[in-house]
Amino acid sequence: MSYLVEPDLTEQELAWIDDHVRLGRFVSRADAVLQLLAHGMDLAGMPASHINDPKHWQNRAAEMRAIAAEMHEPDTKEIMLRLAGDYDKLAERAVLRADGIVP
């Protein structure tokens, strides 16, 4: 069983990430996705296709919780649950943005 969670990115977003990996801005695709998530997926013109979609982030949170439920190592499980909580926060911010409130 693989625990790698592939981000749901468009071809354009992946191309943008790959270009910036080649330029040395990120060390890998995974690093790029983590950095972009931490900064609202809106760095230097990065397409933000999911940033305002609460359902996208809710689905990611559910996915992290499902993975955590299969974990046997407590530290790993804690990390996955913390990621789920972070995705929940992103979903909450997306709802606020939809209501015209900028968090």
Q: pLDDT by residue for the chain (103 residues), tens digit each?
A: 444 555 567 777 778 788 878 877 777 877 777 777 666 555 455 445 577 788 888 999 999 999 999 989 999 899 999 999 999 999 998 888 777 776 5
Tokens 């992290």 correspond to: 64
Domain boundaries, the chain: 9-49, 51-103
What pLDDT sits at residue 1?
A: 43
pLDDT at 61: 93
Half-sphere exposure of 6 (CA within 13 A, CB side): 5
CB atoms < 10 A from the CB of 61, how many?
20
Q: How far apart are CA 29 and CA 21, in angstroms?
A: 7
Q: What is the pLDDT of residue 81?
A: 94
Q: Are 48 and 41 in contact (CB under 8 A)?
A: yes
41-49: list long-range contacts, CB under 8 Å, 24+ apart. 45/16, 46/13, 46/16, 47/10, 47/12, 47/13, 47/16, 49/9, 49/10, 49/13
Give the per-residue pLDDT at 41.
Answer: 58
d(CA 17, CA 9): 10
Please tell me the predicted confidence (pLDDT) of residue 56.
86
What is the predicted pLDDT for the residue at 29? 78
Residue 15, both tokens = 């191309």
